[in-house]
């Protein structure tokens, strides 16, 4: 049966296939490297010498906690995890509570030294701007034609409109000849000598944008989002109480223990026994403090860990899971199907509602008691370790620099969705103060100026102290509106920033 015809010869190119020349290898810079450079620059100046510890932790594999599925063989799973040496977070918290009762150590109040971070960011912004200006006008110092660099870069999008208007009023040719006659200060180098033909003059058009740089966005734009002037009423008060949900069992290993959990197994009810998630991701839903009978929205739900945790507290009556893409919602559906018993009959579209839309466009105003706003961010750990779907891809630069705008938009809209007196938790998995405190500030400002909504920031630092055996927290002094878990090698969770905001009645 073997015919000569059926043998297909695939010519293989050897020469250009795998380039191994040193300059090719060296100059290759992938998305992760780009992210690393950016972080080294940015976080290095924000966090100082602590950045290197976070850097090493971010580049190393993160630690999980296991959330026991209450819809499966709960007791068996718990005892399995316990025999492996894991500890129930609830008992750790009870211990910490007892300890804290005895000691009357006062936690420093939030945001006392934030002017430090403001100064740092301001310096960073100026440095970046100077660098960008210098890269665009590299030779201006040498020929001495312009002694002072322009203070700020102007972007072609805004600039282009002006010449267009002028063109409409007086035809182009005319204005040029007029300019040639009147403007004596013209650059001698750029004059076209008539002896070589005046034809060139008519083809001359002054440059209005730089070829290849049309889409160029200055990195320094990003740093502008961190504003500090508060021109809206804002109160920060300590959160009154914290209750750990009775039915929730989270298992973790103690600090310094890097063991892995066993993979989830199928239980008798057909669901999986436990869910593994980054430990820091458990904190935003825990601090949201969902109580029985409340209507809850998870504004950016996928991949579903945080939603699932809220469902595992068994407090929820209705949860609306929103996400922007159908594909992300499908991921979420799959997780819920795997972990919720009788998903189709009892949960889907009854107690658990999936909704696909941009969180900025949701319009069920004043409907929800609690909202979890886990916004899209630079996902610091992901961008350093994965090439796919990396926001530091050069073509996504505009998207990346405008992330704070998107985040603030989502947060502002979610504040409007909140019933007066209801509260939300804003969380990101980024270390950037711009995406964290900066965005909270922007959103609060926006809802106040546009809709007259005022809010209260809940200071959680008293309660995060309960978790200090498990997580490493950023000192609350350096943060304005929230708390943050920082990556730390023996407890390699996070980064995770979260801020609890209550809408004033």
Partner 1 sequence: MLRKLLFNTQVVLKQQPKLHHIRHLASPKILQLEQVHIDEAIKIEPTLSIFSPEIWRRAHETFQNHGLETVNFLRIVTGNPAVLKRTPDKIINSLEIWRACQFGENLLHLLLTKYPELLDISDSHQLLSQIGFIKSRVSTSKNVWKLLMNSPDLIAQPEETVEEKLNFIIDVMRVEVPELAKSAALSLPFSELRCRHEFLVRLGLFKPRPLKADPNEPTTNHKLYQITDTSEKSFATKICHVTLPEYEAFKELYAKELERKTRKAKEEEDSSDED
Q: Applying CB under 8 A, does 186 fall inside the site for partner 1?
A: no
- Distance in Å, CB of 277 to partner 1, minimum: 18
Q: Applying CB under 8 A, does 40 fall inside the site for partner 1?
A: yes
- DSSP reduced 3-state for 97: helix
Interface pick for partner 1 out of 49, 104, 106, 147 (rule CB under 8 A): 49
Q: What does the alpha-carbon distance between residue 471 and residue 378 come to, in Å, rounded to a whole number?
A: 21
Question: Which range, of 48-56, 78-86, 187-195, 310-318, touches partner 1 by CB under 8 A?
Answer: 48-56
323 appears as a binding residue in the annotation: yes
Residues 317, 351 contacting (CB under 8 angstroms) = yes
Closest to 360 (Cα-Cα) out of 292, 301, 407: 407
Number of residues that bind partner 1 (CB under 8 A): 20
Angle at 277 between CA 377 and CA 470, to 5 degrees: 95
Residues 377, 387 contacting (CB under 8 angstroms) = no
Angle at 31 between CA 27 and CA 34, to 5 degrees: 70
Output 280 or 335, the one with its CB closest to partner 1.
280
- Distance in Å, CB of 254 to partner 1, minimum: 11
Binding mask 50-69 for partner 1 (x = CB under 8 A): -xxx-xx--xxx--------
- The two tokens of residue 361 are 């466009």
156 appears as a binding residue in the annotation: no
Output 17 or 292, the one with its CB closest to partner 1.
17
Return all residues near 471 (Cβ < 8 A) that are at least 6 apart. Answer: 279, 280, 283, 464, 485, 491, 493, 494
- Distance in Å, CB of 253 to partner 1, minimum: 11
Tell me, yes or no, if 429 is annotated catalytic. Answer: yes
Q: What does the alpha-carbon distance between residue 370 and residue 156 come to, in Å, rounded to a whole number?
A: 43
Output 191 or 258, the one with its CB closest to partner 1.
258
Q: Applying CB under 8 A, does 488 fall inside the site for partner 1?
A: yes
Strands 64-68 and 250-252: antiparallel
- Distance in Å, CB of 240 to partner 1, minimum: 35
Output 122 or 260, the one with its CB closest to partner 1.
260
Residues 381, 281 contacting (CB under 8 angstroms) = no
Q: Applying CB under 8 A, does 201 fall inside the site for partner 1?
A: no
- Distance in Å, CB of 138 to partner 1, minimum: 22
Output 226 or 488, the one with its CB closest to partner 1.
488
358 appears as a binding residue in the annotation: yes
Residues 431, 380 contacting (CB under 8 angstroms) = yes
Return all residues near 290 (Cβ < 8 A) that are at least 6 apart. Answer: 245, 296, 310, 313, 315, 316, 370
Q: Applying CB under 8 A, does 24 fall inside the site for partner 1?
A: no
Residues 261, 66 contacting (CB under 8 angstroms) = yes
* Active-site option among 300, 321, 377, 429: 429
> DSSP letter string over 281-301?
GGHHHHHH---TT-EEEETT-
Interface pick for partner 1 out of 70, 129, 430, 492 (rule CB under 8 A): 492
Q: Applying CB under 8 A, does 256 fall inside the site for partner 1?
A: yes
Which residues contribute to the annotated binding site? 323, 358, 374
Catalytic positions: 429
Which residues sit at the interface with partner 1, rule CB under 8 A?
Answer: 22, 26, 40, 49, 51-53, 55-56, 59-61, 255-256, 258, 260, 488-490, 492
Please enumerate, by residue number, every residue annotated as part of a binding site for S-adenosyl-L-methionine.
323, 358, 374
């Amino acid at each position: 049966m073997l015919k000569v015809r059926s043998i297909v010869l695939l010519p293989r190119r050897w020469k250009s296939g795998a380039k191994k020349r040193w300059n090719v290898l060296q100059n290759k810079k992938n998305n992760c490297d780009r992210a690393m450079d950016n972080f080294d620059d940015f976080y290095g100046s924000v966090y100082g010498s602590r950045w290197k510890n976070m850097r090493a932790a971010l580049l190393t594999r993160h630690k999980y906690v296991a959330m026991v599925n209450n819809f499966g063989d709960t007791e068996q799973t718990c005892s399995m995890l316990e025999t492996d040496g894991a500890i129930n977070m609830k008992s750790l918290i009870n211990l910490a509570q007892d300890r804290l009762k005895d000691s009357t150590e006062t936690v420093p109040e939030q945001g006392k030294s934030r002017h430090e971070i403001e100064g740092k960011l301001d310096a960073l912004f100026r440095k970046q701007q100077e660098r960008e200006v210098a890269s665009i006008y590299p030779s201006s110092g040498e020929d001495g034609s312009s002694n002072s660099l322009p203070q700020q870069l102007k972007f072609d999008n805004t600039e282009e409109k002006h010449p267009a208007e002028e063109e409409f009023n007086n035809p182009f040719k005319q204005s040029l000849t007029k300019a040639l006659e009147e403007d004596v200060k013209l650059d001698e180098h750029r004059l076209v000598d008539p002896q070589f033909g005046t034809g060139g003059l008519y083809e001359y058009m002054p440059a209005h944008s730089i070829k290849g740089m049309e889409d160029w966005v200055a990195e320094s734009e990003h740093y502008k989002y961190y504003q500090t002037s508060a021109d809206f009423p804002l109160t920060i008060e300590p959160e009154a109480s914290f209750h750990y949900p009775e039915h929730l069992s989270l298992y973790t290993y103690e600090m310094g223990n890097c063991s892995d959990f066993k993979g989830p197994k199928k239980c008798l009810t057909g669901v999986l026994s436990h869910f593994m998630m980054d430990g820091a991701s458990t904190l935003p839903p825990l601090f949201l403090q969902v109580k029985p009978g409340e209507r809850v929205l998870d504004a950016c739900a996928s991949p579903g860990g945080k939603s699932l945790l809220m469902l595992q507290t068994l407090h929820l009556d209705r949860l609306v899971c929103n996400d922007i893409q159908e594909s992300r919602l499908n991921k979420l559906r799959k997780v819920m199907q795997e972990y919720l018993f009788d998903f189709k009959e009892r949960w889907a579209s009854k107690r658990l509602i999936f909704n696909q839309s941009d969180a900025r466009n949701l319009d069920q105003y004043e409907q929800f008691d609690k909202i979890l706003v886990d916004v899209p961010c630079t996902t610091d750990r992901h961008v350093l370790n994965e090439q796919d779907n990396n926001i530091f891809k050069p073509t996504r630069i505009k998207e990346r620099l405008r992330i704070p705008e998107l985040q603030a938009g989502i947060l502002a809209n979610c504040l409007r969705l909140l019933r007066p007196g209801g509260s939300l938790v804003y969380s990101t998995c980024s270390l950037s103060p711009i995406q964290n405190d900066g965005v909270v500030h922007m959103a609060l400002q926006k809802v106040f100026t546009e809709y007259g909504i005022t809010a209260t920031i809940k200071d959680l630092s008293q309660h995060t102290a309960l978790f200090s055996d498990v997580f490493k927290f950023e000192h609350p002094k350096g943060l304005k509106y929230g708390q943050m878990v920082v990556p730390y090698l023996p407890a390699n969770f996070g980064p995770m920033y979260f801020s609890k905001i209550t809408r004033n009645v």
